[in-house]
Structure 1
Amino acid sequence: MILSPELLDRIRSRAAGYDAENAFFAEDLSELRAAGYLAPRPLLEVVRDQRLLAAHAPATALGINMHLVWTGVARALVERGDTSLEWVLRDAAAGELFAFGNSEPGNDLVLWDSLTTATPVDGGWSFSGTKIFTSLAPAWTRLGIFGRFEDSLVHGFIDRSSPGVTTLNDWDTLGMRATQSHTTVLDGAFVPAARVSRVLPVGPNADPFVFGIFSSFLLSIGSVYAGIADRALELAVSAVGSRKSMKTGLAYSQDPDIRWRIADAALALDALAPQLESLAADVDEVVDHGADWFRLLVGVKHRATETARHVVDQAMRVAGGSGYRSTSELARLQRDVLAGIYHPSDTESIHATVAGNLLGSL
């Protein structure tokens, strides 16, 4: 077992301090690396482990998620006969830390276009642009990026030591603070030809590389937020068992309205594991859902993040006013769970994807 109870207890004990100090989860990272948590493994294992880790330290799980996305992409390609990213698996096994540098300010097309420019140069490509939400910013050693050249999108990886890479110290957010997802500025950052993973046309693309990103990112992100909901429900159950009503003298766990709220949260949460885990297993086993894949993947991410927000809200409502204190764990979960609405795909894009799958293009 990689995530032993003792390791998880230590990780949980540090989460509040990282949040209060707006500090990176350096000790967590060191322990998780030593335990073998960063090594490549099947997506189903990642989905289960990330949910458990997030129940103990959401920001740590979210930050680590970005490394696990790239190992997941590389595994998905290998399982489909494509060895172009085998080096990612080797580097990850050797201790390199990968991060996700694709998000850009003002780019609502996400992977279908880029505001970063890619320019061919001797031996590779030069990238210039701004990447936001670069989780693991203090520690990554390999950063996956992409940029536009004419009508193509060039995907590749830069090393932390590459000239033209600047990390800004600008992460001061409402929640998920320990991820330290600072802005990354690229000014002629060089990617050697051997580290270019794809050159694809601008626009939607079903290339296995793109599928790997969507499947690994959306399923593991969904699992992080499911883990937040797991912990919120646990805290809610504990709170209503220990609080008593002056009116009836009974524990709040005996109040019909509160029991309904707890049951409502649990019913919503229980629906997540079957879909998250079955789709992860399908990725591992190379099951072909054809054109339905993107609909299924964006759908489960949407359901997980929205369900998590609902569960945390129900927990806040039944736990009492102490949950509103800034030092309470529930308050931190409430702040952390809000980050789910900002991960791609956004709600509008998700509905457009599902409608397109069922009804065809506009």
Structure 2
Amino acid sequence: MNSIQTDPFVRNVRESFIAARSDTLAALFAGRASLHDREGSFPFENFKDLKESGYLKLTVPLEYGGEEASLYEMVLAQERLAKGDGSTTLAVGWHVSQIMQLRIRKSWPEQLFADFCEKVVTEGAMINEFASEPSTGSPSRGGRPKTFAVKSDGGWLLTGRKTFSSLIPILDQFTVTAFIEEENKIGKFFVRKGPGVSIEETWNTLGMRATGSHDLLLDQVFVPAAERVDVQESENCTGEGMSDHGGALLHIPACYIGIAGAARDYAIQFAASYRPNSLPGPISELPHIEQKIGEIESELITARTLLYSVADRWDRLPDERPTMKPELGLAKTVATNSALRIVDLAMRIVGGASMSRSLPLERMYRDVRAGLHNPPMDDSVIKMLAQRAVKSALEASEE
């Protein structure tokens, strides 16, 4: 039976199309994933397929020729895509999530956003935002960037280094955060590849080896005044937008739970078909294997249910988004840690062969560990949940 028809989280015809497209792409990517993982090379051919399939315009507004996917639909697309290749999915996830954020916030000048969306639809343009730096760590911790912007005739000159710059081998434009000394604040700038922009190929990691997350170097890079995009909200944007309050970051847990789903599929298929000559039937009939499969199902169903229910609530109740940050973080934490557990169990089912690089499980095992280092971090989520619980208790006692 078709997996789309049996997936309870595919609810209608539009979602069936989104899921089917991701499934088709995932099948292509799966055949290339091992090579790019081994080489640490960027999968340009995967992004050619993403462009030709229309995937890159997933979250672009309808008025500009896109599909204007909801958060739920983006999660669905990303989860199923990740079954083929986690690196490609996490990398393109930054693009589709950035477009979603820009669509909601309306923080760019309208014409700049319209022009960029047209490039996404007609040329397959992509974007990501680069904020991480060697000395500041994760930008979610509030560190001040060493990348700086200096006022220049008609614009700004940017100098600095950004790390974890996923997608950089294929991007022609991106946004960058930089400190503005004269304003004592962090600004955000729309930067195009050109003079002063270079890449240092530093990405050589345990997992997610094909995201192209090299260092980006900026040396006196000129940005026109109109393309400083952090100030537009109060100056010349439509003013109708609102923060997504972190909703678009659900592309991260969607990716990791998708990888885990692929590991689950592989292990169960293996267990159902592997028949050692010492047994009368397949190993799936053994009690300890059955126990592991049941644990995998429990982890996967729990994580997916939380992930999709949070995305659905975020879509349906926009006024509640400001209060949903703990739930959004919890969905990521549960999905990431469940993914680790699921892949570990899958490897225990398959046994020693699971460590072979000729099989996909060892790559999946390494890839899901990267989720621990994507925002929000586990400790921040637990802190948010605790603080909200204490605040709620205090407010209740005062009534």
What is the TM-score normalised by the length of structure 1? 0.88
> Contact 1:51 / 1:225 at 8 angstroms: preserved in 2?
yes
Aligned to 2:311: 280
Query: What is the CA-CA distance between 1:195 and the residue it aligns to?
Result: 2.1
Which one of the candidate residues 185, 207, 213 is aligned to 1:152? 185
Q: In the alignment, does 2:132 pair up with 1:114?
A: no
Q: CA deviation at 1:213?
A: 7.2
Measured after TM superposition, the shift of residue 97 of structure 1 is 1.4
1:238 aligns with 2:269: yes
Distance apart, 1:56 and its partner CA: 1.0
- Alpha-carbon distance, 1:241 to partner: 1.4
Shift of 1:283: 4.0
CA contact (8 A) 2:22 2:80 kept: no
* Corresponding letter in the other structure for 1:343: N
- Flag the 1:297–1:188 CA change in 2: closer, same or farther, 3 A: farther
Secondary structure at the residue paired with 2:343? helix
Match of 1:125 among 153, 156, 178: 156
Q: 1:118 to 1:286 in 2, by over 3 A?
A: farther
The aligned counterpart of 2:132 is: 103
Root-mean-square deviation (Å):
2.7
Q: Distance in 2 between matches of 1:313 and 1:271?
A: 17
Deviation (angstroms), 1:4: 6.3
Query: In structure 2, do the counterparts of structure 1 residues 275 and 334 end up closer, same or farther at CA, with 3 Å as the change threshold?
Result: same
SS in 2 for 1:132: strand
Letter of the structure 1 residue corresponding to residue 324 of structure 2: W
Larger radius of gyration: 2
What is the total number of aligned residue pairs between the two structures? 351
CA contact (8 A) 1:215 1:297 kept: yes
Between 143-152 and 245-254, the greater mean CA deviation after superposition: 245-254
Which portions of structure 1, spanning 4 or more consecutive aligned residues, are displaced by more than 6 angstroms?
Answer: 207-210
Aligned partner of 2:224 in structure 1 is: 192
Distance, in Å, in 1 between the alignment partners of 2:108 and 2:229 is 15
Match of 2:80 among 34, 52, 60: 52
| Mapped contact 2:102–2:108 kept (Cα < 8 A) | no
1:37-78 CA distance string (max 9 Å, x none): 000232322111111110011111111111112111122225
Q: Which residue of 1 aligns with 2:13?
A: none
Instruction: List alignment gaps of at least 5 residues for structure 1.
Output: 201-206
Deviations 1:143-189 (A, max 9, x none): 1211222432211221112x322211122111211211111122222
CA offsets per residue over residues 262-314 of structure 1, 9 Å max, x none?
Answer: 11111111123333233333444452225422212221111111111111011
Distance, in Å, in 1 between the alignment partners of 2:366 and 2:23 is 25
Find the counterpart in structure 2 of residue 203 from structure 1: none
TM-score calculated relative to the size of structure 2: 0.80
Seq. identity, %: 30
AA paired with 2:336? T
1:345 partner SS: coil
CA contact (8 A) 2:41 2:209 kept: yes
Is 1:12 paired with 2:30? Answer: yes
> Counterpart of 2:172?
141
Match of 2:95? 67
Q: What is the CA-CA distance between 1:121 and the residue it aligns to?
A: 2.6
Would you say the 8 A contact 2:178–2:186 is kept in 1? yes
